[in-house]
Chains A and B, each alone.
Chain A
């Protein structure tokens, strides 16, 4: 097991007793009728094994990005438990990462998981060069030898097909697709066990999208990390994932093998989603 999520919940607003039971797909609403809180993520359970690629699909506002942010802890969850392989207490029991202190959190975010955002501006520091951005992750993992850092920076740039000569250029001198590649290099530089991707190709043109998806797929096979990909693009999900989760109004409505779900959707919402794909 790489990741286990149990009863993860995030509510924006008052969070009354009836929030969770009176929202969801059967009510077609994420807004609690009693206290008007928005239930973004409602009792989600997921398990990801080593090397697995899990896709999360759903419409805007279904809570898929929030779910990813809760795992990466860009936002704090209200309830639930998240276990990650490699994060244990002294007795060898899994520790809930939602209760990690800031030091542990930085360990989690450098050694165990990395996030790739839709907008490279969120994942990269534009005051540092492309190489500097990648170096930051390598330095955070504890390496203090310049030659070693430089070697790894160049290695990861090459992996994502950025010309080595441009290592000291600043991110805003690169094209959008290249910035996304630099973000991928940065995320992978610390050899994470789990990679979280939030709409990694949305907003890029189609040929670049295809290249980046191929790149992610290739790197995943090579390095063997597990991935969770959030996308509203079924093509991306089909191309990359083995397992797929369909979310609506903060809850999971269907999960299973990607092929199966896309070929033979059971839930009416999934049927609508698949049939409305272009």
Chain B
């Protein structure tokens, strides 16, 4: 079998799309999404990016909502290993490529690392304009007034935006971008991140990127603060950490236990490595 599953021409095409995406931060580059051995909508965009950029020296980590051990993450990791034979890790710092769904790892990413995010809906304007031709025109004209109107309406009625995940961001002072369904907690990490962040939407056939050290701002009014999720004094039941993004687990008796959402972070805390 060929290394990394995809044929060389496919990889070339996807790499070209990635290069263009890096050159225009936040801009959605169309690409010919291939049939993959997993269903569209299950991470095919991220997987195609991973398989196009991987080489023999890479160490890969796959997470699903912060967890290395969830079914999807395990299956994608096993697949990548079966077609490349590359090394894998659960340690955020040791990985060179991190494919993720809906989370950015708790530990800070470094130069040379690449975060690949799986994207369900790449178009940030879809809630305010259904016509994709008009969406393109709006992007071209940097016409994001309607996103601001949504924010205005939520602020007028509820005091703050109602968007809990997929919070719209402005990349490099130019394009409005859907950051994938990461929680608000992760949005500030996009700004000036040292790692390359790539976004792949397999079903919607789009690739976009945030190059290292790019300015990424959440959409917010000058006189309002961007609020992120807080877990107050909640402690991880496993490692005892406070102040990170938590999972809320309901036990059979109705009580609630909190755990670190990022399992790699939790493991390291437990071992005393952090």
Interface bracket on B = 20 to 34
A-B contact count (CB 8 A): 59
Which residue in A106, A129, A144, A148 is a CB contact (below 8 Å) of B153? Answer: A129
Contact A103 B141 (CB under 8 A): yes
Chain B nearest CB from A134 CB (Å) reads: 10
Within 8 A of A (CB), among B206-243: 221-224
- Please encode chain B, from 119 to 155, with 1 for each CB lying within 8 Å of some chain A CB and 0 for all others: 0000000001000000001001111011011101101
Does A46 interact with chain B (Cβ within 8 Å)?
no
Contact B152 A132 (CB under 8 A): yes
Q: How many Å lie between the Cα of A140 and that of B142 in the bound state?
A: 11
Contact A132 B149 (CB under 8 A): yes
Which residue in A102, A125, A127, A149 is a CB contact (below 8 Å) of B152? Answer: A149
Does A150 interact with chain B (Cβ within 8 Å)?
yes
Does B271 interact with chain A (Cβ within 8 Å)?
no
Within 8 A of B (CB), among A134-191: 135-136, 139-140, 144-150, 167-168
Does A128 interact with chain B (Cβ within 8 Å)?
yes
Contact A168 B140 (CB under 8 A): no
Query: Which residue on chain B has the smallest CB distance to residue A140?
Result: B145
Does A250 interact with chain B (Cβ within 8 Å)?
no
Contact B153 A132 (CB under 8 A): yes
Q: How many Å lie between the Cα of A145 and that of B221 in the bound state?
A: 5
Within 8 A of B (CB), among A78-136: 102-103, 106, 125, 127-129, 131-133, 135-136
Contact A131 B156 (CB under 8 A): yes
Chain A residue contacts of B2, Cβ below 8 A: none
Chain B residue contacts of A103, Cβ below 8 A: 141-142
Chain B nearest CB from A167 CB (Å) reads: 7
Between-chain CB contacts (< 8 Å), 7 pairs: A139-B145, A144-B222, A146-B221, A147-B223, A150-B152, A167-B156, A168-B156
B interface, CB within 8 angstroms of A = 128, 137, 140-143, 145-146, 148-150, 152-153, 155-157, 221-224
